[in-house]
Amino acid sequence: MNEFIVGFSVAALAKGVVNTVIITLGSSLVMTVLSLLVGLARVSPRWPLRWISVAYIEFFRGTSLLVQVYWWFFVLPVFGLSLSPWFVAVLGIGMNASAYGAEVVRAAIQSLDRGQFEASTALNFTRLTMMRRIVLPQAVRAMLPSWGNLLIEVLKGTSLAFFITITEFTAASKLAADATGNYLLFFAVALGGYYVIARALITPFVRWLERSLSAGFVREALA
């Protein structure tokens, strides 16, 4: 019986880790795409885009992520729109994080020297060309450290998926602890697991991107 419980606990933890990683990857992709779109709209010369982006940012930053997820999963079906738990977890966490990411994008763009924009205008670049060839390559390098922090926040936010029926890492740890009665062990495993994912996977990946983009930027500058 004890062997069965231990086997069940290990299997639950493994499944929980896989689910957490999948949600983290999906939410990070959603966050990246929406952050760029909303961040660019935030600095757009067109005021309707700026107002929409500000409303988006203030709404998602100013309300609870858990309540947002509840709305996606429990309230929308009242209006005839039912979404799967996985879709809600990935989209909900990604949209919430993108509100913070959009401000990172805005700050990175606005931190660039105004001479960059003036030179682009003098060269008769369209705004799209200026953003693609001049502004974004430099802004991406500036925003990467903050982006790493956002990815870690996305990872930690995945624990809320438990409330919409997904057994992620935190929920799996609790199930294993309930089954064995060893709360110290399994919650220590949960703490260590999140730390390993954040510091051994996400942080090195972001640092690798920083080095790669910095090296590419130097080569382009010398060319």
CB 216 within 8 A of CB 144: no
Share of the chain above pLDDT 90, in %: 61
Per-residue pLDDT, averaged over 43-56, amounts to: 93
Of the two residues 216 and 97, the one the predictor is more confident about is 97
Residue 3 has a pLDDT of 64
CB 81 within 8 A of CB 91: no
Residue 155 has a pLDDT of 96
Please name the residue that has the structure tokens 């590419």.
216
Per-residue pLDDT, averaged over 158-187, amounts to: 92
Q: Quick check: 194 pLDDT over 80?
A: yes
Q: For residue range 79-121, what is the model confidence (pLDDT) as tens digits?
A: 999 999 999 999 999 999 999 999 999 998 888 877 766 667 7
- For the chain, which residues make up each domain, given as ranges? 2-222
Q: How many CB atoms lie within 10 A of CB 163?
A: 15
Residue 217 has a pLDDT of 52
* Fold exhibited by the domain 2-222: MetI-like fold (1.10.3720)
CB 143 within 8 A of CB 36: no
Q: Please tell me what DSSP assigns to residue 1.
A: -
Q: How confident is the model at residue 135 (pLDDT cuts 50, 70, 90)?
A: confident
Q: How confident is the model at residue 132 (pLDDT cuts 50, 70, 90)?
A: confident
CB 92 within 8 A of CB 69: yes
Q: How many CB atoms lie within 10 A of CB 165?
A: 13
Q: Please tell me what DSSP assigns to residue 181.
A: S
Q: How confident is the model at residue 171 (pLDDT cuts 50, 70, 90)?
A: very high
End-to-end CA distance of the chain: 68
Of the two residues 91 and 214, the one the predictor is more confident about is 91
| 3-state secondary structure (DSSP) of residue 30 | helix
Residue 8 has a pLDDT of 61
Residue 1 has a pLDDT of 46
